[in-house]
Structure 1
Amino acid sequence: MKRSDLRVEWEQRIATFTASGLSASKWCAANEVSIHQFWYWKKKLKTTEDTFSDSSQWFALEMDDSMEDSQSKIMVHVGQVSLEIEHGFDPKLLVEVVRTLQSIC
């Protein structure tokens, strides 16, 4: 089984568990699933969701020569916060700010 197929299978299992209203141990026993694997996948899928939530969208930004003047700006929206980014910004700082905003929004 491919890793992507296994991931889809566990996403379905976690969704079924959530809808069941059972405790993890009871659901695992009823569905013949290892409790250790269950917690591994539940944590793994939650971490992935946190990192790549449906509301996050990443895209490539290509700049041409006309965009390199000192007056060029872009707007970045994170939740309800808007950031105005000017030419010469610090990319590492922007990443830190966006991550912080995502964690509180």
Structure 2
Amino acid sequence: MSLNDNREIWVSRIDEFRSSNLTQKAWCEKNDVKISTLRYWIRKLSYTECSVSNDSGFSGFEFASVSISKEYSPPLALEFKDVKLSIAEDFDETLLIKLLSK
């Protein structure tokens, strides 16, 4: 199986996972997939999608979309388990993208 074939299979699987509304653990148990493998491909495809140009023909998925108004808004706070991230109005967009792609 070629790398592109494997990538296409995992793009499809991750789409199925996201549309299932199941937890990663539940989806993996149902589909006989190791949770570490699912997480690997979610990270890999999210990073690849960010680094591939739009004219390359890669049809991946969008991890997140953010729209920020130029009008005043209070700092944005993201919280996931024990990690808290506050984003001020004058945030460094490049740094944020690097942090989210790790």
TM-score relative to the length of structure 1? 0.50
Larger Rg: 1
CA distance, structure 1, for counterparts of residue 18 and residue 9 of structure 2: 14
Write out per-residue CA displacement over residues 40-85 of structure 1, whole angstroms, 9 at most, x where no aligned residue.
00000000111126xx448xxxxxxxxxxxxxxxxxxxxxxxxxxx
- 1:1-105 residue pairs with structure 2 within 5 A? 1-52=1-52, 56-57=54-55, 100=94, 103=97
1:36 deviates by 0.8
Write out per-residue CA displacement over residues 12-45 of structure 1, whole angstroms, 9 at most, x where no aligned residue.
0000000000000100000001111111000000
After TM superposition, the runs of 4+ consecutive aligned structure 1 residues lying more than 4 A away are none
**5+ residue gaps, structure 2:** 57-92, 98-102
* Letter of the structure 1 residue corresponding to residue 44 of structure 2: K
* Letter of the structure 1 residue corresponding to residue 46 of structure 2: K
Partner SS state of residue 22, structure 1: coil
CA distance, structure 1, for counterparts of residue 51 and residue 18 of structure 2: 21
Q: Alignment RMSD, CA only?
A: 2.1
**5+ residue gaps, structure 1:** 59-98
CA distance, structure 2, for counterparts of residue 36 and residue 22 of structure 1: 16
CA distance, structure 1, for counterparts of residue 7 and residue 55 of structure 2: 21
* Letter of the structure 2 residue corresponding to residue 30 of structure 1: K
Q: Percent identity?
A: 37
Higher relative contact order at CA 8 Å, sep ≥6: structure 1 or structure 2?
Answer: 2
